[in-house]
Amino acid sequence: MLKTCSLPPAYRVFRPPGINMIALFNLFLDICLLRKGPQDIPVSAALLQLSVAIYAFVGLVLLLANLNITQAFTLVVLDLGLLLGLTYGVLNILGRGARFAQTVTALAGTGLLLELIAWPLAIWIGQANLRQEAAALPSLLYLALLGWNIVITGHILRHALSTTLAFGVLYAFGYLMSFWMLSDWLVPTG
């Protein structure tokens, strides 16, 4: 007699109840392709927590390709602080605080997908630097990915803030510049 196979306990712990993970992946992909927005994400504290936790973990692992653990952890904490703090502040100032969970879930989920794409590029760049080789191609691909991240963030914020794509992109660019300036201050590079 065959036993039924159940999911491992770790998967059950990290899977929000009632959320189909494949459908969620497709939803984040559609947001990355600008076909859907944060309003299409179910409001769920569990989904918000899961998205942010996985985004932070993958970001940490990605940064470890080129930084030590202290530097990587510092940058992840900075990223999360800006992501959560600025999003909360702007949404509440504009009277749209109820959109916080969906907005942050969208930002973290799409950020996670982009981190997974950036991962091999970061390793490629790091290995080229170790061998003192030119890293022009992976650097250009990484720059293109960064540009697309700004567009995606602008798209999400356009919907969350009920504004134009131009304002959303401007906010995303300001967020990125703030992150870079603070990260240079907190984790100076040689």
Burial bucket for residue 73 (CB in 10 Å: 0-12, 13-18, 19+): middle
116: which 2 tokens? 């997974």
pLDDT in tens, the chain (190 residues): 444 445 445 445 455 566 788 999 999 999 999 999 999 999 999 999 999 999 999 999 988 878 899 999 999 999 999 999 999 999 999 999 999 999 999 999 999 999 999 888 888 887 887 787 777 888 899 999 999 999 999 999 999 999 999 999 999 999 999 999 999 999 887 5
Instruction: Please report the pLDDT score of residue 190 as a whole number.
Output: 58
- Report the alpha-carbon distance of residue 72 to residue 157 in Å, rounded: 26
Contact 117, 92 (CB under 8 A): no
Instruction: Please report the pLDDT score of residue 158 as a whole number.
Output: 97
For residues 112-144, one letter each, b for 16 or more C-beta atoms within 10 angstroms of the residue's C-beta and e for the rest, the string is bbbbeebeebbebbbebeeeeeebeebeebbee
86 phi and psi angles, rounded to 5 deg: -70, -40
